Amino acid sequence: MLNLTLLLSTLTLTIADEQAEALLKQHKIKTDRDSLSKFMQSYCDGNAPPEVVSWIEDLGSKSYSVRERASAELRNMRISALPLVKRAADSDDLEVRYRARKLLELFEKGDSQRAQLLHAMFTVIEKKKLSGLAGHVIKMFPFCEATFVQRQAQKALGATSTPEDRDSLRVVAAEILAMRANRNCLKPLAELLNSSDVDVRTRANHILRALTGKKIVFTAYAKEEERKGPVSEWKSWIENEGVKAELKHPLNLDNILLGRILVCVQSQNRIYELDSTGKMVWEKKNFTRPWGCQGLPNGHRLVGSYTSRMVQEFDAAGKVVWSKTGLPGGITSVQRLGNGNTLVACTDAQKILEIDRAGKITWTAAVSGRPFFAQRLDNGRTLVTLHGNKKVVEVDRTGKIVWSANFKLSNPQSARRLENGNTLVTDYSTRRVIEMNREGKVIWETTANRVYDAQRLPNGTTLVVDITGVKKISPGKKVIWEHKVSGAVRAVAY
């Protein structure tokens, strides 16, 4: 068993309890459970209050006084404004970029203040024993850079956790050890593959794969009987090879896929999922013309229907756990955002929509030219494929086009922004998959048989969907894996 007591050891408080509450109130953060829950969720998602969004826009106002007021307001917000200010620092607008970078310089000087604020929040959670916040505290761990904040976060986690959070605690403790390449985490992680919590099973498998480089096929949401073989394989490897195997350090959990590919076959009215061996492990039939899909980290699938004008989220068993119907047009792409909202492209309605968990449309951008694919970018803009206008563009929060790919396209179907800043575009009529830079220069391209979709994978290969099926293409343009199916229009690896 993993010694959680040691990992959740106490440390002398840096600030007194009453000072902790005062510091939070100074930053307009209430100290009740719900308020702290909302703050942590917003912090992790990189969101900000609505007024921050408005002030960011005002940084580029024609009025000097408006720009100055926006800068002053953002300076006062600091913690809540930081994520959007970081995005604004890369703005194409010179004035916005200049002011945002000046703000970041000021914010960097306040790193100690941010650490104190997080420490204060965790202190309040611990001392008040605010239960039910374990999930939020766990998500905050990557933001706890200072050691004294990390230790206080661990104490808060111990205080807020309920018996139902036991496995969540263990997987966090195991991840802390994994970050240090400490092989004492291996056996607990293997045990957690049998957790009753699918999220814990998913996370444990994710850490094991990243830490060891071992690619044992394990499907977290599969039935218990089907999971026994892979779990046994992991335990055998840990017992025999894990004692001496080289462990990855530093640990990178960002580029490890779970080994699944979700496929939309619109002509057959079905969605299904393949594991890393190509075996079908999940299927949903009688879903009318699925055109947009995304696999979620918890094993759920998000799917949009073109004909039924709806988007639905299915759990591991295929049950609908969230739905939005009656949308203004057929759905051709979906994206679950970090704030929990869902971005959809309503092609024939000439609109991009953002929908919250309550089903309320919180943002609409009217974009003419049949928006066929939409991706929310880190800078807050939205990358859009205009199928009818033969363009790929970026639109801001007002729906204004602020960038357009300087490249002649014939029939663009999808566009995804890559980590290197380039854009991967599929052009159906010319049968090309094109990677272009901001200036429209082609960096890489390959051909396919009337291509619908493409996704660049962490290992450099490209997942492509064309009229013959789904395939993986190497950087050298060779097909290294293929799944033949007629009528597929989207496929997403995750």
Confidence of residue 81 (pLDDT cuts 50, 70, 90): confident
Same domain, 11 and 37: yes
Out of 101, 125, 159, a domain closes at 159
Same domain, 402 and 357: yes
Same domain, 412 and 320: yes
DSSP 3-state of 289 = coil
DSSP H helices in 218-357: 224-240
Count CA atoms within 13 Å of residue 387 on its CB side. 20
CA dihedral 65, 66, 69, 70 (to 10 degrees): -150
What pLDDT shows up at residue 372? 96
pLDDT in tens, 368-387: 999 999 999 988 899 999 99
Same domain, 92 and 138: yes
What mean pLDDT do residues 447-473 have?
93
Out of 188, 207, 240, a domain closes at 240
25-34, 47-56, 71-80 — most confident range = 25-34
Is 50 a residue whose pLDDT tops 70?
no
255 lies in a domain? no
Dihedral of alpha carbons 238, 241, 243, 247, sign? negative
CA distance 424 to 412: 11
H/E stretch holding 108 reads helix 94-108
Is 472 a residue whose pLDDT tops 70?
yes
Same domain, 394 and 306: yes
CA distance 290 to 312: 10
Is 145 a residue whose pLDDT tops 90?
no
pLDDT in tens, 276-304: 778 898 999 999 999 999 998 777 899 99
350 lies in a domain? yes
97 lies in a domain? yes
What pLDDT shows up at residue 313? 95
Is 30 a residue whose pLDDT tops 50?
yes
274 lies in a domain? yes
489 lies in a domain? yes
419 lies in a domain? yes
Instruction: Order across the sheet with 310-314: list the strands.
Output: 290-295, 301-305, 310-314, 320-324
What pLDDT shows up at residue 7? 40
Query: DSSP states of 342-389 as a string?
Result: EEEEETTTTEEEEE-TTS-EEEEEE-SS-EEEEEE-TTS-EEEEETTT
Decide which of 474 and 79 is more confident.
474
Same domain, 300 and 426: yes
Out of 159, 185, 209, a domain closes at 159
Among candidate residues 297, 230, 298, 201, the one with its CA nearest the CA of residue 257: 297
What mean pLDDT do residues 212-241 have?
89
Same domain, 488 and 411: yes
What pLDDT shows up at residue 206? 85
Decide which of 284 and 253 is more confident.
284
Query: What average pLDDT does the structure give for the chain?
Result: 87
Number of structural domains (the chain) is 3
- Which tokens hold the place of 390? 């033969």
Confidence of residue 16 (pLDDT cuts 50, 70, 90): low
Share of the chain above pLDDT 90, in %: 53
Enter the DSSP assignment of 248.
Answer: P
What mean pLDDT do residues 23-47 have?
82
What mean pLDDT do residues 417-430 have?
93
What mean pLDDT do residues 172-199 have?
89
What pLDDT shows up at residue 379? 87
Same domain, 331 and 452: yes
421 lies in a domain? yes
pLDDT in tens, 314-370: 987 888 999 999 999 999 999 998 788 999 999 999 999 999 988 999 999 999 999
Q: Which of 33-47, 221-235, 264-278 has the lowest mean pLDDT?
A: 33-47
Decide which of 111 and 212 is more confident.
212
Decide which of 475 and 298 is more confident.
475
DSSP H helices in 129-249: 134-140, 147-160, 166-179, 186-192, 198-212, 224-240
Question: Residue 80 belongs to what domain range?
Answer: 4-159
Same domain, 23 and 123: yes
What pLDDT shows up at residue 445? 96
Is 202 a residue whose pLDDT tops 90?
no
What pLDDT shows up at residue 78? 65
Residue 254 makes CB contacts below 8 A (sequence gap 6+) with none
- What does each C-alpha distance from 99 to 70, 95, 105, 113, 371 come to in angstroms? 10, 6, 10, 21, 32
Question: pTM for the whole thing?
Answer: 0.61
Same domain, 135 and 202: no
What pLDDT shows up at residue 45? 58
